[in-house]
Amino acid sequence: MAVSKLSFLVSLLVLSYVAEAQLGQLGASRRKFGAQSRCRIDRLNALRPSRRTESEAGVTEYYDESEDQLECAGVSVLRARIEPNGLYLPSYSNSPSLVYVLRGRAVLGAVIPGCPETFQDLQQESEESYRGERGRREEYGSQQFRDEHQRIHHIRQGDVIAVPAGVPRWCYNDGETPVEVIVVIDVKNNANQLDPTLRHFMLAGRQQESSGRYRRGEGEQVGSGNILSGFDADLLAEAIGVNQETVRKLQSRNDERGEIVRVESQLRILRPSRTEEREESGERGYRRESKERGERWEDKVVTSGNGFDEAICSMKMKENIAEPMKADVYKPNGGRITFLNSQKLPILKYIQMSANRGVLHRNAILAPHWNINAHAIVYVTSGRARMQVVSNEGQRAFDGELHRGQLIVVPQNFAVVVQSRSEGFSWISFQTNDNAMNTPIVGKTSALRGMPVDVLVNAYRGLSREEARRVKFNRGQEMTIFPSQGSRREYE
Amino acid sequence: MAVSKLSFLVSLLVLSYVAEAQLGQLGASRRKFGAQSRCRIDRLNALRPSRRTESEAGVTEYYDESEDQLECAGVSVLRARIEPNGLYLPSYSNSPSLVYVLRGRAVLGAVIPGCPETFQDLQQESEESYRGERGRREEYGSQQFRDEHQRIHHIRQGDVIAVPAGVPRWCYNDGETPVEVIVVIDVKNNANQLDPTLRHFMLAGRQQESSGRYRRGEGEQVGSGNILSGFDADLLAEAIGVNQETVRKLQSRNDERGEIVRVESQLRILRPSRTEEREESGERGYRRESKERGERWEDKVVTSGNGFDEAICSMKMKENIAEPMKADVYKPNGGRITFLNSQKLPILKYIQMSANRGVLHRNAILAPHWNINAHAIVYVTSGRARMQVVSNEGQRAFDGELHRGQLIVVPQNFAVVVQSRSEGFSWISFQTNDNAMNTPIVGKTSALRGMPVDVLVNAYRGLSREEARRVKFNRGQEMTIFPSQGSRREYE
Amino acid sequence: MAVSKLSFLVSLLVLSYVAEAQLGQLGASRRKFGAQSRCRIDRLNALRPSRRTESEAGVTEYYDESEDQLECAGVSVLRARIEPNGLYLPSYSNSPSLVYVLRGRAVLGAVIPGCPETFQDLQQESEESYRGERGRREEYGSQQFRDEHQRIHHIRQGDVIAVPAGVPRWCYNDGETPVEVIVVIDVKNNANQLDPTLRHFMLAGRQQESSGRYRRGEGEQVGSGNILSGFDADLLAEAIGVNQETVRKLQSRNDERGEIVRVESQLRILRPSRTEEREESGERGYRRESKERGERWEDKVVTSGNGFDEAICSMKMKENIAEPMKADVYKPNGGRITFLNSQKLPILKYIQMSANRGVLHRNAILAPHWNINAHAIVYVTSGRARMQVVSNEGQRAFDGELHRGQLIVVPQNFAVVVQSRSEGFSWISFQTNDNAMNTPIVGKTSALRGMPVDVLVNAYRGLSREEARRVKFNRGQEMTIFPSQGSRREYE
């Protein structure tokens, strides 16, 4: 949604590699589904969720996928709230997605195909830790029980998490406040070879009926079962090697809890404590630790010897972009922006998306600019701002005030300007390119700055050479964010 | 259609490279044609060919391209039989394809643009070999005749051959039994910039009218001529530098033999004898040699000195995946699977497809799984099996028995399980991604194994911790193929 | 539009790299918009512009984007004429384009996002040069005025210029004759995430109403404003840091000059003189120099120290392909062809297009061939020729005479032959692949040459072995261009 010199240096790092051998990559390998007709984006609206599904321990809200701007951008958007001790059931979808944590803390697991179960409990001695709820020692067959599973991630407010298509993930709120996330699913991504609509595959539970003014296909999503429920029980029992009763539980045909369920006691997961995690700036010791009451799971990250799986299996899936210290653009009186592209988080190259997080102080202006190679899906995280979006016809496609919780698409190449109101403004923007680039119209490294004064003088009828210089240079070294007029000199 | 640790190591080899610099490649650069509407894949059927074209020395059968599942997967499928001494005429199509040889042996030629004619006859001394059928010494002008042409390939049962879009190929059955092939053409591949339908360009002969319940556009394919027939005879004669009579033969306007013709005597092709070929495991000396009766064509593979054309011109186009020794997954009582992806056969990277060949012994189960990044087009080569396919709604999209000669699409992300009948089951599966990946639901490196026991306990209502452990671990180290229950212990 | 050994060596250079790691690139990552229905390309027509916009100092003519062949190829085409001293106003579009300069010389500026203003005036001493038209010393604030802007390019007849999507460019005719360009915009390119139609974003001026038989959406393009005109004047004034009056001039609401305006005196641009430019063969000293009358702008190309931006910011954007010395294929009596692909001009990898320029002498034949991996959009630059295009049905999709100024699409895989008339024939062809390849049907390295004689004998009914040899070898070492029959021996 904005540009910075810093982000460009990063971009250029990518580009310099790319320039050597595979420049075609850049803008050229993203989307597959054609627009059947012209994008109807002459009039954009600030969107709110139109459909809502209540679950036992949370709520999922969907934005209307058939809204013109979302259809043009080729994305599906949802917002979910997971209550404390709530578990978002394992599921996957047909397109890659970016998740942004609006608030709270949680544990996230994603099962990458073929990757080893590197979180293993190898201890034999600390038998106490294996005692179940009823106090009896738990064994599996003749062998003492040991659990093992794939890597899990601690996520928290400000994290962006990349989830490839077809990869199942679950999420558990181990904090004391609700977790809220916003998720943008890129249904026109090349990774999706099905139709350009969100298809959600549940591994457990079953989908509840949703309420709201929007319901596609009349009840189509009403009570979808999980994928196991579609198999014949006998066959599934034989395949898994368990009895029919267990299979009936797996098929969850009568489970009415929805996709976010309440964990009865507390989820016991093998994992490093948060304090063991690599220190992240701005993160204080986390008092959730004390709650774990001396339960000590040994954390052994086991990697296979061949080194092959390390590249993908240990690939970083998340990055925090809300911490002020990570800002790429920073103006003391104006605000800040943090960009996240595939150079910072390489998995984004895989899913061909990127994100940025911005904060504008009171009355600050986000420089007028356009996105060169991506749509931007902008979600307002706090405050208020006036936004204007201009089409190729020179028409105002949007001119309005944005509030917290609203969503808007800024289409590729459309010009946009934002001015925050007195309470300031902050957003998270998702882009449909792993290395989204934009061009500011004024300020440093802008379109107008890049042209000779004499071109401006002749391009704009009646513009004097002096005026042209002001247009080019009045913003001086400022770029991207312009602090409010109060802190600046008067214009001539 | 199935997953294995081995194949994953291979996949990871690819991925580890990819992870460094070009991860975006993976899922992100394949298909271009959008689904106009939602994929209608709620009900899948086992398909048989719907249209048939008889030729002088063979038969071509077409699956109905407008079937919902084929349209969704974006592929066109055909099966051809070439009688002994039959020649499949040179032709090319607008999309890349994978060919699998169901039975027989043949010689295949593909003309790669710009590649040198590396099979050259340079002998001056063995004049005998140049004597034609009528015994007279054949000369060309004042110069003794020497033929030269591009590399040719010996193909045989179990070979997968990759053919890029726009590359003409011919095929000659030099064996004593019919050759049968099944061909999957990826019409939604990015390499096809025309419309998402198969367009077949013949270089010789002319297409015969086909019979069958399906005929698109009413007679559209009736009697299409070859591309030379569309040119003006005078202009073509001048361009080729031959007379009108020769041109009329090239245009083949009255040729009723169809696309597979009978070679009168025996095709004389400059080529290494099969015994000279690089030894392939499982291949015994081939008695066809004796038939060549002392005809000795000198085989000189001439490469230009610059080394540039070696990369593409000498690229391997085929790989055998039917030999048991090549199995990636092998279970003595269960069966085996051989994967073929772009790591094993780099040309697949170019055409963005892959394949696997599987054999299940009696009553064995192919683990329930889903394809992450590709559709699978499954053709049954022998035996019978029960297959179930489950959609994102948790509905059974297919539940039936598959027989030899049937074809079915397993859509991306849909869950599938297969259990062979008493006679066993074998298949060839074509995938719409050069590095197709899937996730088994149970067994080693599966989705359920990758999640903590406590997640299962809470995700599946009523599941005890003990049951959850059984679900995770009852399959032990088994993956992909589960031998029949008879050879296993009873479940608790 | 034609193939050469030379071009193939170049292609192979690319391919040999590609073969190692990223072959999939090649044919596989280009286009995104599906054909809604089958391409209607059974009947092709030679096209002329259907719509015309007059500007103060030039004319823009548009080919009808909804013509079947252009829609199938996914391109939009326009031709522009800029009068001497005319300035094509800065604008950008939603898709990459290739520009070919039909005649004249000009200065072109393209503003690449994030690139530094490397053309800087650092001189303090030569104060004379900063004097404005009215003779007074021009200063900006307390600081003496210095202009700076991004790199500019001198372009001339025969240049191909690559312009990425979303990158604004302007063009000034500093010569004494009109400049004419033809522009092909690849609207189905993956870089365009909007709809598959040309969207033109003006940074200055406003679009004039066009006349002609074709007008899409009834008046849709009538008087579109520039993108600044869509913003609120107050907000824009604050963002740019100028007053309302200046903003009104920028918004250009009443500017009726159109997109090509007349520069009053002469455009003063900081730039190296043409004689300082790297010598290009065939370019004589350019008398425009003398016109600059001693005005000396110091040219300092400043690069930042990090080296990152050099890769993209100093990337070559243009290449001349009209100079006879640059020919890749040359036949003294036949003509010549110059290919331009991403190996010669790496930015083409980024925009996934390529071009070739051909000249046929009287009655020469361009070998029958087909384009393997791209559509060709052919524009006739001079002379006349007969062209035949043949579809997959073997039907003649086009058979007619082409004149200067006509445009035709040769669809991917369709066979084509061209014979120039007595006045000769020359063309510029744009391809929708950065490494377009084709296969000639006869001649050296052709499809027929690549197959064994015996395959031809049997493929073409009644063809004798002797005839087959003539078909294969009569063209000898000739490839691509066949001189007229007069200069050749008679055929047997």
Please say whether the beta carbons of B416 and A231 come within 8 A. Answer: no
Res. A140: pLDDT tops 80: no
For the segment A146-183, what is each residue's pLDDT rounded down to a tens digit?
Answer: 788 888 999 999 999 999 999 999 999 999 999 999 99
Residue C252 in 3-state DSSP?
A: coil
Q: How many CB atoms lie within 10 A of CB C307?
A: 11
Asked if residue A411 lies in contact with residue C201, where contact means CB atoms within 8 angstroms, the answer is no
Q: Which of these ranges, B135-149, B358-372, C219-233, has the smallest mean pLDDT?
A: B135-149
Question: Can you give the pTM of this predicted structure?
Answer: 0.86
CB contact under 8 A, B415 and A227: yes
Chosen for mutation from A26, A32, A83, A169 (greatest number of chain B CBs closer than 10 Å) is A32
Predicted local confidence at residue C291, as pLDDT: 33
The residue that leads in pLDDT, B288 or B357, is B357
pLDDT value at residue B290: 33
Predicted pLDDT of residue A273: 64
The mean pLDDT value for B208-217 works out to: 58
Judged by average pLDDT, the poorest of A105-119, A245-259, B284-298, C373-387 is B284-298
Q: Which residues of C touch B307 (CB under 8 A)?
A: 16
Taking only the tens place, the pLDDT of each residue in B195-209 is 999 999 999 999 877
Compute the distance between CA of residue C426 and CA of residue B114 in angstroms, rounded to an integer: 24
pLDDT of residue A129: 41
Q: How high is the mean pLDDT of chain B? A: 81
Q: What percent of chain B has pLDDT over 90?
A: 64
Residue A347 covered by a domain: yes
Higher pLDDT, B478 or A30: B478
| C-alpha to C-alpha distances, A236 to A203, B335, C130, nearest whole angstrom | 14, 19, 84
C486 CA to centre of own chain: 35
Q: What is the pLDDT of residue C122?
A: 55
* pLDDT tens digits, A393-411: 999 999 999 999 999 999 9
Indicate if A159 and A220 belong to the same structural domain. yes
Looking at residue A171, which CATH number applies to its domain? Answer: 2.60.120.10
pLDDT in tens, B16-73: 333 332 322 323 333 444 444 579 999 999 999 999 999 999 999 999 989 999 999 9
CA separation, residue B185 to residues A33, B80, B353, B354 (Å) = 20, 13, 10, 12
Contacts of A70 (CB under 8 A, 6+ apart): A47, A63, A64, A76, A77, A377, A409
pLDDT(A491) > 60: no
What number is the average pLDDT over the span A55-79? Answer: 95
Residue of B194, B200, B231 with shortest CB distance to C368: B231
Name the neighbours of C, counting chains with at least 3 Cβ pairs within 8 A: A, B
C231: in domain: yes
Same domain for A448 and A357, yes or no, is yes
Show residues of chain A in contact with B364, CB under 8 Å.
none
Position C7 in a domain: no
- Res C38: pLDDT: 77
Task: Show residues of chain C in contact with B164, CB under 8 Å.
Answer: 27, 372
The answer to whether the Cβ–Cβ distance between A194 and B474 falls below 8 Å is: no
B295 and B370 together in one domain = no
Average pLDDT over residues C92-99: 97
Do B197 and B234 share a structural domain? yes
Interchain proximity A225–B374, CB inside 8 Å: no
Q: Are strands C51-55 and C143-144 parallel, antiparallel or unpaired?
A: unpaired
pLDDT of A313 > 80? The answer is yes
Distance CA A193, CA A191 (A): 6
At residue C478, the pLDDT reads 84
Residue C429 falls inside a structural domain: yes
pLDDT at A130: 40
Identify the band that residue B451 occupies on the pLDDT scale cut at 50, 70 and 90.
Answer: very high
Query: Chain A closest CA to B364's CA: distance in Å?
Result: 9
How deeply is A89 buried, as exposed, middle or buried, from its count of CB atoms within 10 A (0-12, 13-18, 19+)? buried
Q: At C251, phi and psi to the nearest 5?
A: -75, -20
With a cut of 80, say whether residue B228 has pLDDT above it: yes
Hey, what are B217's tokens? 């556009």
Q: What is the mean pLDDT of residues B78-94?
A: 97
Instruction: Using the predicted structure, report yes or no on whether residue B308 has a pLDDT greater than 80.
Output: no
| pLDDT computed for residue A52 by the predictor | 94
Q: C166-182, pLDDT tens digit by residue?
A: 999 999 999 999 999 99
Same domain, yes or no: C306 and C363: no
Nearest chain A residue (CA) to B437: A113
Confidence band of C287 (pLDDT split at 50, 70, 90): very low
Count CA atoms within 13 Å of residue B451 on its CB side.
34
B299 and B415 part of one domain: no
Question: What are the E-state strand segments in C124-230?
Answer: 139-140, 143-144, 148-149, 152-156, 159-163, 169-172, 179-185, 200-202, 211-212
> Residue A346 belongs to what domain range?
321-491
| Position C298 confidence tier, pLDDT thresholds 50, 70, 90 | very low
Reported confidence tier of residue A316, pLDDT bands at 50, 70, 90: very high
Mean pLDDT across B389-409: 96
Rounded CA separation A12/A18 (Å): 9
Mean pLDDT to the nearest integer, A322-334: 93
Distance (Å) from the alpha carbon of A9 to chain C's nearest alpha carbon = 7
Same domain, B332 and B246: no
CB C149 within 8 A of CB C172: no
Query: In the predicted model, what is the mean pLDDT of chain C?
Result: 81
Kindly state the average pLDDT of the residues C221-237.
Answer: 87
Residue A282 has pLDDT above 70, yes or no: no
Higher pLDDT, C144 or B251: B251
pLDDT for C276 beyond 70: no
For residue range A192-249, list pLDDT tens digits in order.
999 999 999 999 999 887 776 544 444 444 568 999 999 999 999 999 999 999 999 9
- The pLDDT of residue B114: 82
Lowest mean pLDDT among B174-183, B474-483, C364-373: B474-483
Q: Indicate whether B187 and B231 sit together in one domain.
A: yes
Pick from B7, B391, B454: which is nearest to A268 by CB?
B454
What is the enclosing helix (H) or strand (E) of B375?
Answer: none
Which chain B residue shows the shortest CA-CA distance from C458?
B263
pLDDT of residue A148: 86
Q: Is residue B391 part of a domain?
A: yes
- Selected residue with higher pLDDT from B3 and C264: C264
Among residues A440, A486, A481, the alpha carbon closest in space to that of A332 is found at A481
- Give the pair of three-digit tokens for residue C296: 């000396």
Q: Are residues C109 and C242 in the same domain?
A: yes
Please tell me whether residues A97 and A195 are part of one structural domain.
yes
| Helices B465-473/A244-251 angle, 10° precision | 100
**Whole-number pLDDT of residue B2:** 45
- At B107-150, the pLDDT tens digits run 999 998 888 888 877 554 344 444 333 334 444 443 455 788 88
pLDDT in tens, C302-348: 333 444 445 678 889 999 999 999 999 999 989 999 999 999 999 99
Chain A residue with Cα closest to C34? A34
How many CB atoms within 10 Å of residue A316? 11
Asked if the structure places residue C40 within a domain, the reply is no
Mean pLDDT (chain A) is: 81
Closest chain C residue by Cα to residue B37: C36
CB contact under 8 A, C34 and B30: no
CB C212 within 8 A of CB C52: yes
What pLDDT is recorded for position C306? 42
Contacts of A11 in chain C (CB under 8 A): 114
- Say if the Cβ atoms of A350 and B460 lie within 8 Å: no
User: pLDDT class for C227, splitting at 50, 70, 90?
Assistant: very high
Tell me which of B307-321, B461-475, C391-405 is least confident: B307-321
| B45 falls within a domain | no
Q: Do C230 and A396 touch (CB under 8 A)?
A: yes
Q: Are residue A375 and residue A265 in the same domain, yes or no?
A: no
Chain B residue with Cα closest to C72: B194
Q: Do C478 and C379 belong together in one domain?
A: yes
Number of domains in chain C: 3
Q: Is a pLDDT exceeding 90 seen at residue C50? A: yes
If one compares B318 and A8, the residue with the highest pLDDT of the two is: B318
Nearest to A374 by CA among C403, B394, C190: C190
ipTM of this complex: 0.84
